[in-house]
Amino acid sequence: MTAPSTPFRPFTRLLRITILGREFEVPEDNPVLRCFQYLAPEEVSYGSFCWNEECQNCRVTFDLGDERPTREALSCKLMVQESMRIKAVTPEIRYCLRTLQLKKDE
Ligand code: FES
């Protein structure tokens, strides 16, 4: 018998991150888009994402804390880090995370 398949890379703990001002716990060692999928499994699974750096629908603006530079990245390739703060997301991500009741972009 094989283990059930999961879209997530193996993880042993959850990291605390902030998405548009709200705190969430998401699996370490995973790209940020997978972390979004962890929080909203169905919505992100059926979202319009290529998962391969082509569509640009997963772009986020983020920083790693106060005094750290704000950057843009593709969340399908960006690995999550402790204390990451997602400050802006695309309309597609916002739509997929609508059940999380996020605020507007910071
Ligand atoms: S999901 Fe298409 S570029 Fe990231």
Query: What CATH number should be reported for the domain holding residue 78?
Result: 3.10.20.30
Is the shortest distance between the CB of 36 and ligand 1 below 6 Å? no
Residue 89 pairs in a beta bridge with 60
State the total domains in the chain: 1
0.85 exceeded by pTM? yes
23: Cβ–Cβ under 8 A, 6 or more apart, which residues? 16, 17
Determine the distance separating the centroid of ligand 1 and the alpha carbon of 12, expressed in angstroms.
26
Mean pLDDT of the chain: 94
What is the number of other CB atoms lying within 10 angstroms of the CB of residue 32? 26
User: Is 59 inside a domain boundary?
Assistant: yes
Average of pLDDT values for 46-60?
97
User: Is 19 inside a domain boundary?
Assistant: yes
Residue 50: which domain range? 14-100
Could you tell me if 38 and 45 are in contact, meaning their C-beta atoms sit under 8 angstroms apart?
no
User: Is 26 inside a domain boundary?
Assistant: yes
User: Is 42 inside a domain boundary?
Assistant: yes
pLDDT classification of 34: cutoffs 50, 70, 90: very high
Closest C-alpha residue for ligand 1 atom 3:
53
pLDDT classification of 105: cutoffs 50, 70, 90: low
